[in-house]
Chains A and B, each alone.
Chain A
């Protein structure tokens, strides 16, 4: 009986990781950079949702939409100000800049809203669905359903629209894409917008399960989701979903059956093993160097 409920809880946690991992994987796929500030965009999303719900008493849906809007704008602005000037720079410079942006957002949040945690209001109550001996909270069900919707929507967008096609073209060969009339800067902006908007959704889902908002809120989920993206094969959208879900399940199983303290260590150990066997991640493509 425990197994099934652990599995569902794992999928719930994994769904959050998957939605965050998408932001990492899409940005990496197109801009070829690791946006380590992505986790902190989640944090900003959480604060926006918190103030919208708690201070301005907005209903849930407008509050979530507001968080999505703010994060989308934040993602695009950060890209324009911090990353775009470094388009021709070495990847190390971009990486360090991303870490800088991450600290900037964290410390900015601390300055504005103090480091003491705020309690996120309950969105759907503590109800749960009971089927025989199995009991699953509504929050978990909503999280999993959201993840499935995001997955379907994003897959349709990337495969069936002109912007999605242009994104795939840019991830293959930016130079050739430009020569076919595709504005690569615009496509990179769209990628950051989508990734950051999804981060806001992940923020609300995360806070619905773990109702505390604090400036370093995004760090751990960010790192876990980055791990999930690498696990699934960074640059691959299905890989981010698979990696996120697996990581969530492994984490919950490790907590349930092995040790709560060791669960994170076990998660990262699994990652190391996977990368030893398949260095490109589960669904990653082998990169051939151009000569």
Chain B
């Protein structure tokens, strides 16, 4: 491809060992701006482990992760988020006893700059920023069709709405790359269809790159521009959905010989 798209994420030779077990090895991945990339593979292939390394929940044993051209070796979990990587979770991890609105506001944490002093003494900067945050949070909820549920306690939301709220909360941290860990898990075909439209909308509206782990092949083949296949912690294949579907190694990994 001759286009001049900017490289957002560049992963080379990535590997991690847990004790004597090598969970991921020699993994490579590139994500360009405004791209939707799928990370697939059989259960236990190491997909979520890759996400955990990209967010620094796990410190990689080998390899480099360059994000927006910058080496991230020394960055902590919080710094990775500040740099612009946000994620959702395979098993939903909302702040379940906080309201829907407060979940999103918590995502805006680092964009609020008033000091504790102005919060305690209720200076104008406190009120102005809290008002702005509230407006931004409500805008975000509107995109995910959650604006009517702003005051609902997160754990009382229906399952599909909780998944949407997780995406909204991640977007509140103003990422350049959004990692979605099995966003369609537990959704029925119609909900999955809506989710696909929503993921595209998020990409277009926010102009960000999206990397997603998913088992639902209709979703993966439907929205991903490129797909990376992981098997036993190793890179198995990489290419467009058509290439991946035709790749004999991938078919073998999924269906056996």
Binding site for B on A (CB under 8 A): 157, 160-163, 165-166, 168-169, 172-173, 175-183, 190, 285
Q: Report the Cα distance A193→B130, complex, angstroms.
A: 23
Give the 7 A-B residue pairs with the shortest CB-CB distance, closest first. Answer: A181-B81, A172-B95, A161-B119, A176-B93, A169-B106, A162-B112, A181-B110
Whether, in the assembled complex, B55 has its beta carbon less than 8 Å from a beta carbon of chain A, the answer is: yes
| Residue of B with least CB distance to A163 | B116
Q: Report the Cα distance A165→B120, complex, angstroms.
A: 14
Q: Report the Cα distance A165→B169, complex, angstroms.
A: 13
Enumerate chain B residues within 8 angstroms of A176, measured Cβ to Cβ.
89, 93-95
Residue tally, chain B, CB below 8 Å to A: 35
Please name 21 pairs of A and B residues whose Cβ atoms are closer than 8 Å in the assembled complex, sorted by A. Answer: A160-B130, A162-B105, A162-B108, A162-B109, A163-B119, A165-B102, A165-B106, A168-B98, A168-B106, A169-B98, A172-B98, A175-B93, A176-B89, A177-B106, A179-B77, A180-B173, A181-B78, A181-B82, A181-B107, A182-B106, A182-B110
| Residue of A with least CB distance to B174 | A181
Interface set, chain B 169-218, CB cutoff 8 A to A: 169-170, 172-173
| Residue of A with least CB distance to B126 | A161
Whether, in the assembled complex, B96 has its beta carbon less than 8 Å from a beta carbon of chain A, the answer is: yes
CB <8 Å contact, A173 and B93: yes
Enumerate chain A residues within 8 angstroms of B173, measured Cβ to Cβ.
180-181
A165 to chain B, nearest CB (A): 5
CB <8 Å contact, A181 and B109: yes
CB <8 Å contact, A182 and B57: no
Whether, in the assembled complex, B243 has its beta carbon less than 8 Å from a beta carbon of chain A, the answer is: no
A230 to chain B, nearest CB (A): 20
Enumerate chain A residues within 8 angstroms of B112, measured Cβ to Cβ.
162
Enumerate chain B residues within 8 angstroms of A165, measured Cβ to Cβ.
98, 102, 105-106, 109
B79 to chain A, nearest CB (A): 9
Chain A interface secondary structure, helix, strand, loop or mixed? Answer: helix
Q: Report the Cα distance A190→B106, complex, angstroms.
A: 16
Q: Which of A160, A182, A190 is within 8 Å of B78, CB to CB?
A: A182
Extra inter-chain contacts (18) besides given A176-B95, A180-B170, CB under 8 Å: A160-B130, A161-B126, A161-B130, A163-B119, A165-B105, A169-B98, A173-B95, A175-B93, A178-B78, A179-B55, A179-B81, A180-B172, A181-B82, A182-B78, A182-B106, A182-B109, A190-B116, A285-B97
CB <8 Å contact, A180 and B86: yes
Q: Report the Cα distance A163→B114, complex, angstroms.
A: 10
Mark contacts of B128-143 with chain A using CB atoms, 8 A cut-off: 1 yes-contact digit, 0 otherwise: 0010010000000000
CB <8 Å contact, A180 and B57: no
Enumerate chain A residues within 8 angstroms of B81, measured Cβ to Cβ.
178-181
Q: Report the Cα distance A165→B111, complex, angstroms.
A: 14
Enumerate chain B residues within 8 angstroms of A172, measured Cβ to Cβ.
95-98
Enumerate chain B residues within 8 angstroms of A161, measured Cβ to Cβ.
116, 119, 126, 130
Question: Assuming A176-B89, A179-B55, is B78 touching A157 (CB within 8 A)?
Answer: no
B111 to chain A, nearest CB (A): 9
Whether, in the assembled complex, B87 has its beta carbon less than 8 Å from a beta carbon of chain A, the answer is: yes
Q: Which of A157, A173, A179, A285 is within 8 Å of B87, CB to CB?
A: A179
